[in-house]
Each structure stands twice: as structure tokens, then as C-alpha cells.
A = this chain, B = another copy of it.
Amino acid sequence: MRRVTIKDVAKAAGVSLGTASRVINANTSVDPAIRRKVQDAIAALRYQPDAVAQSMRRRSTRTIGAIVRDITVPALASFVQAAQQALHDEGYALLIACSGDRRDHELELLRLLSQRRMDGVIMTTAAEDDAELAAVRAALPMPVVMLDRTPPGAFDALLLDHREGMRQAVEHLLRLGHRRIALITGATGVHPARARVQGFRDAHAAAGVAIDPTCLRTGSFTDQSGFLEASALLGRPDPPTAIVAGGIDMLSGVLRAIQARGFAVPRDISVIGSADTDLAMLASPPVTVVRWDYAELGRAGARLLIDRLSGGAALPPRQILFPTEFISRGSCAPPSRQHC
């Protein structure tokens, strides 16, 4: 029970293999009668071209590799799904891999994607300035689109304007009267954390308010880190009166910490999250957030890659900056007296 190949089609249609290939790829002209015969044979035999052999010959797998931190984070999943759909429409498939934000995993995945001859890669990175990562990334023989990262080198990139988003968020809190605002975000080795810290500083500077450096917590973008940092902050004799969760999936950790300490939102503490989630919308009170559209990023990423793959190999790198949106909800209020 062999698979049917183009040879079988040719034989069944009584033509040469080359002719069969020609009608399949429909590029050059072929006698209508013959074309018909070949098409009939294809239908009769239920012939499907072998994508592996095509990849071999065409030197293109029509497959894109994606490296994300954690696909169980809904925002990242919606990015991946949107990218997959857009790529699918162009005949590309998506190979997915999760790095868990670990550089060793990321290195291995990079090798994997290169070995499997992906036509392109769309990825984040755990550390923009890591020398080995940068070297491997730069040596990749296919176009790369960076997701919310700006490593050294010329890469296409999808960037979010976290700086402005954070500035707005902190400005909002300062206007409410907060003077001890904490920011919990990821390691500053990557754009989103750096940008948020900048925005945090921007807003304070504009208001002429000094930052308590111990209120600036940069660890990792995990839920758990959100929990630990928030717990530590709230356990102090002088807890902040507001916390901004500066990471996609950190809000739930922060809220758990608040709940565990018995603080009430927004009476005892104001909270702002990053990225809009079921949690932020349905918590009581609903949580004020800086949101953005990750699905749009996914589509744009697909676009960027497809452009490169269809003739645009030599285009200068394009970095697209996507705006964030500030959504005010019930989780922020003026600080209560006893915490001032």
C-alpha cells in the first residue's frame, strides 16, 4: 500500500512525469486535452503532492517557526493563533515551540528551527543582550521577526508602546494622589520591562514626584513573581498605596497576594494590570489595565514575514510600534489616609 506519487499520475494519464508536474504547478502551457487527462488521473488516484519532496526540491518548507515564552498565557496564545491563521491563508504552516523564557531552551529551539529549515521565524527572546543567543539568532539563515524585543542587530520587530502605556497608568495614579507607587515587572534585559520602567520614570518626573527605588521590582514576567513581589511589598511597614503589574500574566499573582494579606481593592490598595484578561474584567472590582491587541500583532508579524519571503529579502528592517490603550475601571482610588 504505497503512497501514490506523481509517477503514478503520469503513468495513469499516459504522459511523462514532467508533464504531470507541469499541470500540477500550472506554470507553463500544456495541451488542454492532456491537462484534462492528467487532472482526471489526479482525481481518480486521489493524488496529493508530497510536501516533503517539494520542500526538498524547492528549498522551502513553507513553514514558519514560532518561539514564545508560554502558550498557556492567553494573550500569547491569541498572538500565535492570529499569526497561524494569517500564515495559513498564505500557504504557510506554523511550528510552535515554548521556551519558558529560558535561554538554554531558546538556544536549542533556535537550532531546531534552523535544522528543520523553517522559511522564517517569529520569536521573543529571554534576553536581548545575551551574546550566545544573539550570535545564534544572527546566524539564522532565514528572516526573523522579533516579538516585543529589540535585540542588537537588524531585525524586523513588532513593538508595543509599553512606555507610553505605563506613563499613562502612573500618571493616572499620581493624579489620584498616590505617592508610593510600586511597579512589578520582568527583567530589564528585554524591551517591555525596560520600556515600562521608562514610562514609570517619565510619569514621576513629569509630576515632580520622587521614586522609592525599593518600589521598582524587576524580576520575571511570571504569575509567581507577581505574587512574591507583591507579597513582599505588602508585608512592609510602609506598603505602597498602588501596584502596577507590568507583565501579561502577573495580575493574578498580584491579586492573590493582596487577597492573602487581607487588603481590599481599591480601598487599601489600587491596582493596575497589563493586558486585558477575563480576570481583569471580571474581578471585583474590575481591574484598570493597559491593554493592547495581541491578535493584531500576530497578523502583522505574519505580514512582515510574508513580505520578506516574497521578494523583500533585502528590504531594510521594519520596526512597527503598536499603541496601548488605558482602560480605567474600579481598581483605582485615592489612597486612604492610614497608608499615606
Contacts and interface: CB of A to CB of B under 8 A. Distances in A.
User: How many identical chains are in the complex?
Assistant: 2
Contact of A48 (B51, B97, B115, B284): B115
A288 interface: no
Contacts of A49: 115
A96 B98 contact: no
A143 B331 CA distance: 51
Interface string A73-89: 11001101100110010
Contact of A279 (B78, B97, B282): B282
A283 interface: yes
A94 B93 CA distance: 11
Counting chain B CB atoms within 10 Å of each CB, which of A70, A73, A114, A116 scores highest?
A116
Interface in A282-303: 282-284
Interface of A: 3, 48-53, 55-56, 61, 63, 70-74, 77-78, 80-81, 84-85, 88, 93-98, 111-112, 114-117, 141, 252, 255-256, 277-279, 282-284
Given A116-B52, A117-B52, A3 B72 contact: no
Counting chain B CB atoms within 10 Å of each CB, which of A61, A72, A84, A256 scores highest?
A72
A3 B116 CA distance: 13
A50 B255 CA distance: 48
Contacts of A94: 95-97
A71 B61 contact: no
5 A-B pairs closest in CB distance:
A51-B116, A72-B77, A72-B78, A278-B279, A96-B96
Contacts of A97: 84, 88, 93-94
Given A71-B71, A255-B282, A98 B115 contact: no
A115 B81 contact: no
Contact of A114 (B48, B255, B284): B48
A245 to B, nearest CB: 13
Contacts of A283: 282-284
Given A95-B93, A279-B282, A56 B48 contact: no
A86 to B, nearest CB: 12
Given A3-B141, A52-B116, A84 B96 contact: yes
Contacts of A71: 71, 77, 80-81, 84
Nearest to A96: B96
Contacts of A252: 278, 282
Contacts of A80: 71, 96
16 contacts: A48-B114, A50-B117, A51-B115, A51-B116, A52-B55, A52-B56, A56-B56, A63-B95, A71-B81, A72-B78, A84-B96, A84-B97, A88-B97, A252-B278, A278-B279, A284-B284
Given A50-B115, A252-B282, 19 more contacts: A49-B115, A52-B55, A52-B56, A52-B61, A70-B81, A71-B84, A72-B78, A72-B81, A84-B96, A84-B98, A85-B98, A88-B97, A93-B95, A93-B97, A94-B95, A96-B96, A278-B278, A283-B283, A283-B284
